Amino acid sequence: MSYFILLEVAVTLVGAIPFGSPGQSAHYTVTGLFDPPDQNVVEFSITLGNTEFQADVRYQWIHLKGVKQNGQSYTMSALVDGWPGDPGIRTARYLFQEADAPAWEYVHASTGEAFLPELRGWSILFPTGVDGSKEPFADRVHYLGFDFVLTEEQQTEIPRIPPTKRIPLRPDMRIGTGRNFRDVEGGRLLANEEYEYTPYSQEDMEELIAAGFNHFWVSEEQYEWMQGQPVFAVHPRRGDRYPEMLYRSNMVGGHAYYDEPGWRAQRKIRPEHTLTEIAQLVVEATQEQPSRTESFHRTLAGRPDISLGDLDLRHPLPSWETAVSTVWYQMRAGAIGAVHEGRYVTYGQPLALNFHYGCQIPPYPEYLLRYYYAFLRGAARHFGGNWGMAIYGQTEAQVAPLAFTLAYDMGARYFWFWTSDHAAHVPYPEQVNLTRLLTSHARQHPNRDMDALLHVAKTAIVLPDGYTFEWSGLLYNHPAHHLERTNEQGVTHRQVLHNAAVEMERLLRLGIDFDIVVDADGFDGEGYEELIYVRSHGMISIVRGDAEEILEIPRTPPRPNHQTTLKIEATLQRNSENPRQVNLRAVSSGGSPPLGMDIGRDSETGERQRILVIWEHYRPDGSYRLLRGTEHSLALDPGHHRFRAGTADSYGQIADQWLEVDISE
């Protein structure tokens, strides 16, 4: 049986006549593929269609009509102003029809413009000359991994444009999860219990789509129904028709993200590593996930009914990451974006930042979110990528709506949920409600200029290469690289990052939008009006245009005068019976309630836990540990030990006290 692919594309050269008369057609046959598999294209024809004017631009239809070995058929039609593959080509319409199914017309939901598949675009959809040229009707062309030769030219009937079903897509706002199932409880489990899950039914997916979901992981069965919906779907890889799958604009490749390169790098971090060496470990951890980049390609290449030839279907991905300040190094590695694992707790991360870095950031939800988003947007801006965030079950209910809407207003592309694993799971009803809220917000603020939003900040905090700035107080969240360690300049990491933290506090309190970037990878500050370089030698450089100001200390912002001062009194007592045993005790007083840091829900009761005192313990071997709670009894190894006890309040005030003890052999 013969199989025909029909591609209808309109082409106009600026100041030139169309490529040929409507109906002009060229027929091609595959060469070099013996005993073709069932799904492979073996012949196709290109036919020119009519010309049209849109907004004073002349377009012409082109039809690509092909033959597949098993006789199945599909049709693709597009209206463009240049030969497919030419730089700067504009596509007015893009249609796709499989066999006798209805034709689908893919459009950008916000602009109404044609929306082509993102997986390689025209380089896959349309043949090119074997030498890479884009000349019409070349004698020999390359298409879908194989060479084809011109066998006939003729004048034919102009293919008609069929009625279409419009599929509006929002590539700039992708709402979804990393799973294809939901919980059956229909509500939150406060204790750290595991939920029971069941695959999405069609009714579930219809409800989610109605709410605004448009990014799905699906099974083969779910994908069959999902193909014609106005949503993106990560392809299940197995089964399906080839090459038809490549022409669906709502098909995402075989995976959607790199999994936590910043955390994965931890297993290779050693105390002797420099910070730039650890940054390289993050780069390598990003690049060491070929199973995700190559999953779609490898699955298709392994099918006996397909031969890919030299067609490369590997595709880059964004990373999904907890350690937000490592995303710069992940984009350095080739990630096309970053999605933050959001566990946003108002009295959690801001107070931890204050405790570790000596700033006084009030625990306001917007301040918390802008700290995280500054890393994401800064890296995306420099590397030309995208960014987004994901709500996790640990996020406070009162913060989650703002997390979505603020990210939207700042230019985020990804809006995801984590939907498994005990307390990290976001229950299904909450997913629906938050998605409805975000979708409503987007309707009220349509037509985002994503490039303008990416470049809206005029101020950037610039960290030294290799540095991270995590709320844990550990570089790369690794205990061997704590804040009391010194860098190559002899300056403690705490001093370097204290400078960054106080400058960030200043920007937050003054309402100045900012990014956080790294002084590496060719960063030159283009587009920023003020650059706050936090130097590894402990100084700060404020650069505005050609002017530079050197500061020895950060610019402390105006802070309110508090009626009561937060205090802490810490004591260390030696055990008379055991010389290596010490008892630590710290008491906080004053300040503004609530005192202490929120560390999440109790795993048994589900009640939120607040820690009044946090201890840092610096051991003789250079290692570090964090102790939570007012009192501790410790058996210590011989050597010099340092302890830091601290507390924080709701105004962002901190109080700390250092204690030291020597333990003899």
Q: What is the pLDDT of residues 118-147, one digit of tens each?
A: 887 888 899 999 887 778 889 999 999 999
pTM for this predicted structure = 0.93
pLDDT of 374 strictly over 60: yes
The C-alpha atoms of residue 313 and residue 119 are separated, in whole angstroms, by 8
Q: Is residue 6 very low, low, confident or very high in pLDDT (cuts 50, 70, 90)?
A: very low
Residue 14's pLDDT is what?
38
Between β-strands 631-635 and 624-628, what pairing exists: parallel, antiparallel or unpaired? Answer: unpaired
The 8-class DSSP code of residue 517 comes to E
What average pLDDT does the segment 11-38 reach?
79
pLDDT of 620 strictly over 60: yes
pLDDT of 11 strictly over 70: no
CA 287 to chain centre: 15
Residue 250's pLDDT is what?
94
Residue 5's pLDDT is what?
45
Residue 4's pLDDT is what?
43
Say which residues have a Cβ less than 8 Å from residue 620's Cβ, sequence separation at least 6.
637, 638, 639, 640, 641
Q: Is residue 220 very low, low, confident or very high in pLDDT (cuts 50, 70, 90)?
A: confident
The C-alpha atoms of residue 362 and residue 347 are separated, in whole angstroms, by 9
Dihedral sign, Cα of residue 344, residue 345, residue 350, residue 355: negative
Of the given ranges (462-476, 504-518, 558-572), which has the lowest mean pLDDT?
558-572
The 8-class DSSP code of residue 269 comes to -
Contacts of residues 520-525 at CB distance under 8 Å and 24 or more positions apart, as own/partner, are 520/328, 520/332, 520/465, 521/328, 521/332, 521/382, 521/383, 523/382, 523/462, 525/460, 525/462
Q: Which pair of tokens denotes residue 240?
A: 């399906």
Q: Which pair of tokens denotes residue 503?
A: 């400058």
Residue 635's pLDDT is what?
94
pLDDT of 222 strictly over 80: yes
The separation between the first and the last C-alpha atoms of the chain, rounded to the nearest angstrom, is: 87
Residue in the structure block whose two tokens are 């004591």: 571
Of the given ranges (63-72, 233-242, 371-380), which has the lowest mean pLDDT?
233-242
Residue 7's pLDDT is what?
47
Q: Which pair of tokens denotes residue 197?
A: 């899950």
The 8-class DSSP code of residue 477 comes to G
pLDDT of 492 strictly over 80: yes
Q: What is the mean pLDDT of the chain?
A: 92
pLDDT of 475 strictly over 70: yes
pLDDT single digits (tens) 431-456: 999 999 999 999 999 989 999 999 99
pLDDT of 409 strictly over 60: yes
Dihedral sign, Cα of residue 525, residue 531, residue 533, residue 539: positive
More confident residue, 206 or 588: 206
CB atoms within 10 A of CB 43: 19
Kindly state the percentage of the chain with pLDDT values over 90: 73
Closest CA to 175 of 10, 417, 365, 394: 417
* Whole-angstrom Cα Rg for the chain: 29
What Cα–Cα distance (Å) separates residue 649 from each residue in 83, 352, 363, 511? Answer: 64, 11, 9, 22
Q: Is 295 left (phi over 0), alpha (psi -120 to 50) or beta?
A: alpha
